[in-house]
Structure 1
Amino acid sequence: MITRISITYGTKQVLSKLQTRFPDRPLLLLDSSTSGEQLALLDVSGQESVFSSPIHYDIKLHRGTTDWQGFVNFIYVDNLSADDQKVMNSKANHFVTTDPMPDGMRSIYFMKDEKNRSNNIILSTWDNADDFSLWKKEASFKPFSYFLTTQYNYHEASYHFFKPEVK
């Protein structure tokens, strides 16, 4: 199992060149689901980064497939007190190790930002965006809803795998 994921952002031209330059690396080109052509390159090799400006996430918990397909969502939560951090760790641990995975969820990763340990990231992969939207309304998501406020700098980023337009 990998212990770290790295991500960088850029243009299609720059990120595609990285993929070409490192063909043996699993570098996944992601396109923002909400704004289109806002691209990210995800390195899921667990190796030292080949990016010039990487953001590294240390994987604390993982369950599910390592076959990257479908819809990808990042939930970011930080600015937690020591007590809130314990609660978040407990809820994430229980969900990832105990609760059944929701319909359509392919994998879930609970991660920490390497530079800012108070930044919690829940990375999930799904068959499609609708499955993710349904999960946010289910009881299994409820333990995380406490943190979905601006007080905790909650924000999300959703992606799908980049597919160039066919002309």
Structure 2
Amino acid sequence: MITRLSITYGSQQVLSDLQKRYSDRPMILLDSSTSGEQLALLDVSGQESVFSSPVHYDIKLHRGTTDWQGFINFIYLANLSADDQKVFNSKANHFVTTEAMPEGMRSIYFMKDQKNRSNNIILSTWETTEDFAVWKHDPSFKPFNYFLTTQNNYHEASYHPVEPS
């Protein structure tokens, strides 16, 4: 299992060129918009980054496949108190080791930002956008609702993989 993911952002031309230059590495070009203007490149090799401005995530827990097709969602949580961090870690561990994976979920990663350890990331991959939306109302997601507040700098980013140009 890989222990780290890296991501960078840029234009389709720059990110596609990186993908071609390092074709021996598994990298997924991600698009968050229909206009193709909000792109990211996710390096899932677990190796040292080849990006000039990477963001690194250390994988703490993972379950599921390593298939990066379908719908991909990042939930970002920052500034958890020490007590909240313990609770979050417990809930994440319980989900990965005990809960049945929701319908349509391909994988889930609980990660920490390598530079800012107080930043927590829940990365999940899905068959469809609708499967993710259903999970957010499912009892298995309920333990995470507590953390989805502006106090924790909660925000989300959703993507679909795209073929390089």
Matched, 1:156 2:150: no
| 1:122 alignment counterpart | 122
Amino acid at match of 1:68: W
| 2:12 alignment counterpart | 12
| 2:83 alignment counterpart | 83
CA distance 1:33–1:143, shift in 2 (3 Å): farther
* Mapping 1:15-164, distance limit 5 Å: 15-33=15-33, 36-163=36-163
2-side partners of 1:68 and 1:77: how far apart? 22
Helix, strand or coil at the partner of 2:141: helix
CA distance 1:120–1:35, shift in 2 (3 Å): farther
Give deviations 1:54-98, integer Å, cap 9, x for gaps: 000000000000111100000001111100000000001100111
1-side partners of 2:108 and 2:157: how far apart? 15
> CA contact under 8 A between 2:26 and 2:45: conserved in structure 1?
yes
Q: Report the alpha carbon displacement of residue 37 of structure 1 after superposing the two structures with TM.
A: 2.5
Amino acid at match of 1:24: D
CA distance 1:143–1:33, shift in 2 (3 Å): farther
1-side partners of 2:26 and 2:144: how far apart? 30
1-side partners of 2:134 and 2:15: how far apart? 32
Helix, strand or coil at the partner of 1:157: strand
2-side partners of 1:52 and 1:88: how far apart? 32
2-side partners of 1:81 and 1:108: how far apart? 23
Amino acid at match of 2:137: K
Runs in 1 of length 4+ with deviation above 2 angstroms? 33-37
Helix, strand or coil at the partner of 2:46: coil
Helix, strand or coil at the partner of 2:58: strand
1-side partners of 2:76 and 2:70: how far apart? 20
Which structure 1 residue ranges, 5 or more long, are not aligned?
none
2-side partners of 1:61 and 1:156: how far apart? 19
Q: Report the alpha carbon displacement of residue 127 of structure 1 after superposing the two structures with TM.
A: 0.2
> CA contact under 8 A between 1:104 and 1:131: conserved in structure 2?
yes
TM-score, normalised on structure 1?
0.95
- Cα RMSD over matched residues? 1.4
Helix, strand or coil at the partner of 1:125: strand
> CA contact under 8 A between 1:34 and 1:158: conserved in structure 2?
no
